[in-house]
Amino acid sequence: MSIYGTESIDDKLNCIIEKQSDISERVNNIEKSSAVDSVVLYQHLKTFSAQVNTDIDIQRQISTLLQEVTSVHAEQKILLEERRDSIKFWKCMKERIATAGVLGAIGLLGSVIWYGIQQYLIHGPKG
């Protein structure tokens, strides 16, 4: 099922192949029939030309759809890379914050111990 229509690309390609087969059969019938006058031949050629133009339009539509799909795929790839970079950044920040917290706790504990030692030395047993 196509995004833009009810027919898939395979259905359109099969339709093109069937039309080309029908056209080839018509051309063969025209060549075999010697009684075909120029008016009938002209009508067949006109129909053939219209079908070829239709086939060309279908091929252009397919090409446009493929370009759109390629473009969307490229955009999704860029967004995915940006998302991965964002996840890496926040993971790194989380690790740095955790490290800073641990170092802060160690520093606080060290300053409390140092303060205790200073107080002990200042106010400790006099002897």
Domain ranges of the chain: 9-123
Are 9 and 65 in contact, with CB atoms under 8 Å apart?
yes
Question: And the tokens for 111?
Answer: 């300053």
Its pTM stands at 0.44
CA dihedral 78→79→82→84, nearest 10 degrees, is -110
pLDDT of res. 36: 54
- What single string gives the DSSP state of each residue in the chain? --SSSSS-HHHHHHHHHHHHHHHHHHHHHHHH-TT--HHHHHHHHHHHHHHHHHHHHHHHHHHHHHHHHHHHHHHHHHHHHHHHHHHHHHHHHHHHHHHHHHHHHHHHHHHHHHHHHHHHHHHS---
pLDDT of res. 2: 46
Could you give the CA distance from residue 65 to residue 52 in angstroms, rounded to a whole number?
A: 20
Provide the residue-wise pLDDT of the chain in tens; the chain has 127 residues.
445 556 677 777 888 888 888 887 887 776 666 555 677 778 888 888 889 999 999 999 999 999 999 999 999 999 999 999 999 999 999 999 999 999 999 999 999 999 999 888 888 776 5
pLDDT of res. 72: 93
pLDDT of res. 1: 43
